Structure formats: structure tokens, C-alpha cells
């Protein structure tokens, strides 16, 4: 009798471990960032024709509205933008800006060893960012809601912003803009303002997430993780990432592994590279005068 019980126990452990090992899921996310602040910067500009305005808005929509696929198992995941054919004229600067809006590359997260790897292309160079997953101090809230048929719970956290993510820029307060304008006029009365002079990068932002314990994996879109269930929605005030579809244990499995191409750097090193290059571009456009930055944005 004891041998039968022991055999049954070992069989149960074997089946359970294999079920966990084979478990895999796929989630589709729609990411949308508010463009109201950027649109207002172009409105009323006499140098921009209605045709240019329309083109700019179309480009902005493609940069700020994206679809991503998250493939995950119990310990790791890969998050990647849905592949689409680039339309003519959407290379170069447009691709660079698109990457700074959260697109491009494969984002690999391993929640077991708390690390991530993401390959990024910036100004023609390939980088492989490797670092520790950001630790978010989630506060569990009492609110609940249903997303895609799954019961979800609310959690909030405050996190420092990524300096290489253009979506984090916020419009300056009127008082700050007036103060900056006065300083600019004192320095050079004939110098026009740069497109980005109306925006600033906050030190931290508040994140609201909705997760479902019905899918018990500590995974989510982008760099989000650390909750007792799959994160189905994330909102940072400007960007909303919402899950539109979940498929569990499909017949076709996906190879969940980290990307390997690019120069290996830390997140801090990558951010410093982006900031340095953006400042060089800013100085170049300032040197050429005027609103070249915002005109460039539309091309």
C-alpha cells in the first residue's frame, strides 16, 4: 500500500512539474499615448500648411499607437512590437523616433533571476541593454474590474522615468515656460525657441496597473512585472497599454529567449548615449535657426 501511495505521489509531482514547464501563454497589447500636448504645439503655426498638419498627425498616430505581442511562461517572457511593413519614406529619423516611443526590438524579462535584456537601434547603431529588472513597490488597492473576461485587481506604484523614452516628456507649466523664455531673450533676443523647449522630463510618474490572479505569472508588458498575476492594463497618465487578447497553452510553442545582437550596455549607459545625441541634435538645429526641429518632425 505504501509503495502505491509513493508511486502516485511521485507521478503527481512529475506531472505537475512538467505542466509548469510546458505552460506558455500569449497576450496581445494595444499601446496608445496621448498626443494632445504635441498637437497643441503645432496649432496656429503659420509655417505649417493643412497638408503638413495632416501628415504630421498621421505620423504621430503611427508612433504613438502600437500593437505588441507578449509570449510568456512561468519565469520568462518576450515582448515585441507586431511586425508591419514600413511604408515609403518611413525610414531614418522616423524609425529612430518610433524606437523612442517604446517600439522596436525584443524586450526579454526573466522574473526568476530578476533581469532583462532588450535590443535597441539608435541612430544606426545596435545596442543590447542588459540590466536588473526595476523593482516596483506595488501598493495593492481594493478596486476590481473585468478585462477580457478576467477578474482583475488594481495596483499602483511610483517609479523613476526612463530618460531615453520620449513618451515620458510632459508639457511645462506656463510659469516655467515664461521663465525659460525670459532667460532665452536675455541670452539671445533673436534666437527662436526649439520644439522641445515647451516640454520637460519629470523625475517620477505614478503607474496604475490591473492584474489577474487567474493567470498566475508575474509578467506584464514592457518592463512591468512583480504582481501575483498577469498585468492586463498599465496606465501612466499619458500612455495606456491594454491587453486585447490572451491565448494559453497554444499548440505552437514560442522560443522564449533573450536577444543577442548589439553592443552590450547598461540602461544608464544607453540613456546617457541617447541624451548626448539628442543634445547634439538640439544644438545643431538651434544653430540652423528657428523651428527646424518641428519641421523635421513632420518629414
Q: Is residue 234 part of a domain?
A: yes
Q: Is residue 119 part of a domain?
A: yes
pLDDT for the residue numbered 295: 37
**Three-state DSSP class for residue 190:** coil
Q: Is residue 15 part of a domain?
A: no
pLDDT in tens, the chain (299 residues): 445 444 443 333 333 444 455 799 999 999 998 766 555 555 656 667 777 766 766 776 677 789 999 999 999 999 999 876 555 444 444 455 555 555 568 999 999 999 999 999 888 889 999 999 988 999 999 999 999 999 999 999 998 887 777 676 666 665 554 555 555 455 554 444 454 566 676 788 899 999 999 999 999 999 999 999 999 999 988 899 999 999 999 888 899 999 999 999 999 999 898 888 878 877 776 666 544 444 343 33
Of residues 157, 139, 129, 141, the one with CA closest to residue 237? 157
| pTM of the full structure | 0.74
pLDDT for the residue numbered 138: 97
Q: How many domains does the chain have?
A: 1
Residues composing the chain: 299
C-alpha distances (whole Å) from 171 to each of 38, 133, 158, 159, 237 are 9, 28, 20, 19, 13
Q: Is residue 141 part of a domain?
A: yes
E strand or H helix at 150, and its extent? strand 150-160
Domain range for residue 182?
A: 24-297
Separation between Cα atoms, residue 199 and residue 170, nearest integer Å:
5
In three-state form (DSSP H/G/I as H, E/B as E, the rest C), the secondary structure along 74-133 is CCEEEEEECCCCCCCCCCCHHHHHHHHCCCCCEEEEECCCCEEEEEEEECCEEEEEEEEC
Separation between Cα atoms, residue 204 and residue 168, nearest integer Å:
9
Q: Is residue 1 part of a domain?
A: no
Separation between Cα atoms, residue 273 and residue 29, nearest integer Å:
29
Q: Is residue 210 part of a domain?
A: yes
Q: Is residue 4 part of a domain?
A: no
pLDDT for the residue numbered 263: 94
Q: Is residue 18 part of a domain?
A: no
- The C-alpha angle 263, 269, 274, rounded to 5 degrees, equals 90
pLDDT for the residue numbered 287: 63
Amino acid at each position: 500500500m505504501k509503495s502505491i501511495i509513493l508511486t502516485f505521489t511521485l507521478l503527481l509531482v512529475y506531472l505537475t512539474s512538467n505542466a509548469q514547464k510546458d505552460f506558455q501563454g500569449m497576450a496581445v497589447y494595444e499601446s496608445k499615448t496621448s498626443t494632445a500636448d504635441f498637437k497643441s504645439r503645432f496649432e496656429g503655426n503659420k509655417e505649417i500648411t493643412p497638408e503638413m498638419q495632416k501628415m504630421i498627425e498621421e505620423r504621430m498616430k503611427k508612433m504613438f499607437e502600437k500593437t505588441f505581442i507578449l509570449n510568456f511562461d512561468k519565469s520568462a517572457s518576450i515582448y515585441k512590437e507586431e511586425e508591419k511593413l514600413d511604408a515609403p519614406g518611413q525610414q531614418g529619423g522616423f524609425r529612430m523616433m518610433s524606437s523612442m516611443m517604446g517600439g522596436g526590438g525584443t524586450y526579454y524579462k526573466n522574473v526568476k533571476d530578476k533581469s532583462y535584456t532588450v535590443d535597441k537601434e539608435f541612430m544606426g547603431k545596435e545596442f543590447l541593454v542588459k540590466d536588473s529588472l526595476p523593482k516596483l513597490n506595488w501598493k495593492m488597492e481594493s478596486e476590481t474590474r473585468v478585462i477580457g473576461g478576467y477578474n482583475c485587481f488594481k495596483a499602483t506604484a511610483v517609479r523613476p522615468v526612463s530618460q531615453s523614452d520620449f513618451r515620458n516628456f510632459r508639457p511645462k507649466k506656463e510659469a516655467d515656460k515664461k521663465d525659460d523664455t525670459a532667460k532665452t531673450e536675455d541670452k539671445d533676443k533673436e534666437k527662436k525657441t526649439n520644439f522641445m523647449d515647451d516640454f520637460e522630463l519629470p523625475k517620477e510618474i505614478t503607474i496604475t496597473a490591473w492584474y489577474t490572479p487567474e493567470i498566475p505569472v508575474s509578467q506584464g508588458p514592457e518592463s512591468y512585472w512583480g504582481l501575483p498575476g498577469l498585468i492586463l492594463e498599465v496606465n501612466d497618465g499619458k500612455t495606456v497599454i491594454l491587453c486585447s487578447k490572451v491565448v494559453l497553452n497554444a499548440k505552437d510553442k514560442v522560443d522564449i529567449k533573450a536577444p543577442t545582437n548589439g553592443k552590450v550596455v547598461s540602461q544608464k549607459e544607453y540613456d546617457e548615449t541617447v541624451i548626448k545625441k539628442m543634445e547634439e541634435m538640439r544644438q545643431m538645429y538651434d544653430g540652423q535657426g528657428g523651428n527646424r526641429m518641428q519641421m523635421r518632425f513632420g518629414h
